[in-house]
Structure 1
């Protein structure tokens, strides 16, 4: 790979990082924002409103994802990516300056509606790394995204309400600083990509492929149906877990929570991320090489079921100063490690299910489905958690009920994963080339037989 392309890849991954920051920066501060805006006074009840902040961005992405995919295929992924970085940076700042809940909700929705970074970067990686290299590249994509997700929690927790009297702007807008940092990250990634990224999706590379299908033609494909359902289930479950953990550690101790501050939530996320990035890529490579993509999805989902069922037991240590930190970090680390296996493999089989000239559209479609699932899970699980945690119900209908409910949907995902086609383990072009090679060999054998017959 040339030096220029390596630099471009840094820009791509930085844009992924920025996009992930934007998504999760709200998690550690959302509950405090709800109370700051005067909607509730009880910490445990913030879940009723927090879910809407988390889900609004995904609703926006759901509405626009397919159309961004079409624009990528029509005008080029690079141009759409540049636009996405600009809108992401702009609305991050506007969200940080929101003065009431409804403005914050609007800006979060627009962040999702007008930010195609996920589609463009996934499409670019699929084109830059065809074949076997894609698993490694996509794992990097997920690692960067996961690190961004965790870093968003850190930034939100550490830099909200900086109480800097010398800077009046931050006193007036206490949630602006972490969002301003996101905008800076976006601008840096934009500069890198503008000067180093070339358009990868070339028409001459598509000569031997069929004409790209429309929306309904792609969705009717049996393989596409499978990957869309699989990705949606994984997206829904992963988002729900992140939402639940933040609400849980924020909730009152009398309701089974830990009464963490945004700063403590940031510390927990920071410690998790430091440990997470050291081993996850190597571990994923070992699993994929040994079991393949499909089995990797199945096994990882099954492993996370007992993890979720045992997770609420950490609450027993909520009055212990050190043990609660150890259990929370280890528990979240185990879940995210296993979840990484399923979500990364799901992303790869999405690209494997169609030809390269349809990846832009399919990534748009898959993101729409995934975002629909992600837009539903925060309000559903947030409301469920708030209702059960404050109700004073006995186990399993107390705060633990949300985790038990999530484990049930993870089981559904694992059940469905066991029915995925094994052909999704390889890119479609590889299968086409293999079939052509077999056909050519068959024709050569037939020709040889004919020539031999004529000689006789």
Structure 2
């Protein structure tokens, strides 16, 4: 996460200079190399180094978001952005499943993998190789990926000089208008619609990451500490079902939500609806059996759907707040800020949950209620930031 946060702006600028396709292809290629090296790590420092390099050299997210906007017509941009989010959701579900089934194969499948084989020496190599193999197929498929950022005037002029001579090239130069100079990248920091949407995006990212952390800790905590006494596999099932509902929603429903409400109102509505859902969690500790399972699964699915609605809405605002020439850098800034928020959130959530458990029997907002109250406070801050004067809306979304 730190590696990605450090390098995202750089890769966004590179994508604006050389195109989206080369950066996407190189990023996926880095996954092939460093994910395999991570599986071969025998020392802790090597695992940390390969993970950092994997994040720093993987500049995929910024150009992918820009590409999803540029390859779609305006009325289909919501679907394009939602596809990126859907792919992320699929990775969240499929990735841990691959790791769980294929990690330590010599112990899980001793009849297939010997303890002294390479998979016995490197117990996490097999899932890493599977991911690297899939990434290698994606690298090959990048050959058929059309470029959306076209800057061919310099090449055309050079070809004209060779084919027709300097006289014809001079005439062509006179008849061909010079391209307008690109706005400096520093102007992005003064782009209020962009920066205000990034700030809102970061608050929601901080909230969502802290929510997942607190939800997992809360469900496995004992009833005497205000939790649900779930086993880890039970928590995994809840999160998997929530992730599956997210995929269905993104593919089939989100574009209609965006068409009816627009990115701004959909962000506001989804944020407002998240508040009562989070407030209801502490009171679920009074339930058990199917009376607990049904509302818990429904709440987790709704929270997941509402969270992705907010994220996709703010991503649409960011990408439409800048011209195409700055879209990669703009997404790089957003990715850096989001990565820092997501790196900061788990530590804060863990400290907050530990503190809350110590005041479980307090008269005013006992621990389990206090932790979700503070989560809701973050949600309210994000909701407030979607209104004027905090959020400056891009011109095409002004009513």
Residue aligning to 1:367: 335
Shift of 1:393: 2.7
Residue aligning to 1:446: none
Distance 1:242 1:90, change over 3 A: farther
2:133 to 168, 184, 192: 184
Q: Distance in 2 between matches of 1:254 and 1:94?
A: 44
Q: Distance in 1 between matches of 2:353 and 2:19?
A: 43
For residues 162-182 of structure 1, what are the alpha-carbon distances to aligned partners after superposition, in whole Å with 9 as ceiling and x for unaligned?
522242345444444444332
Residue aligning to 1:49: none
Paired residues of 1:62 and 1:369 also in contact (CA < 8 A): yes
1:137 to 51, 60, 80: 80
Residue aligning to 1:164: 109
Residue aligning to 1:226: 196
Distance 1:201 1:74, change over 3 A: same
For residues 331-355 of structure 1, what are the alpha-carbon distances to aligned partners after superposition, in whole Å with 9 as ceiling and x for unaligned?
2101011111111011111110011
Does residue 108 of the first structure (1) align with residue 108 of the second (2)?
no
Show structure 2 runs of 5+ residues with no match: 155-176
Paired residues of 1:153 and 1:269 also in contact (CA < 8 A): no
Show structure 1 runs of 5+ residues with no match: 1-56, 428-456
Residue aligning to 1:197: 145
Within-5 A mapping of 1:28-427? 57=1, 59-98=2-41, 103-162=46-105, 163-165=108-110, 166-167=112-113, 168=115, 169-194=118-143, 196-203=144-151, 210-252=180-222, 254-255=224-225, 256-261=227-232, 263-317=233-287, 320=288, 322-389=290-357, 391=358, 393-394=360-361, 396-419=365-388, 420-423=391-394, 425-426=396-397
Paired residues of 2:89 and 2:246 also in contact (CA < 8 A): no
Paired residues of 2:83 and 2:250 also in contact (CA < 8 A): no
What secondary structure, in the 3-state scheme, does the structure 2 residue paired with 1:413 have?
helix
Distance 1:159 1:62, change over 3 A: same
Paired residues of 1:235 and 1:374 also in contact (CA < 8 A): yes
Shift of 1:248: 3.2
Distance 1:179 1:308, change over 3 A: farther
What secondary structure, in the 3-state scheme, does the structure 1 residue paired with 2:367 have?
coil
Paired residues of 1:385 and 1:402 also in contact (CA < 8 A): yes
Q: Distance in 1 between matches of 2:239 and 2:314?
A: 24
- Per the normalisation by structure 2, the TM-score is 0.81
Distance 1:135 1:369, change over 3 A: same
Residue aligning to 1:29: none
Q: What is the aligned residue count? A: 366
Paired residues of 1:268 and 1:325 also in contact (CA < 8 A): no
What secondary structure, in the 3-state scheme, does the structure 2 residue paired with 1:132 have?
helix
Shift of 1:301: 0.9
Q: Distance in 1 between matches of 2:46 and 2:79?
A: 40
What secondary structure, in the 3-state scheme, does the structure 2 residue paired with 1:417 have?
coil
Shift of 1:276: 3.3
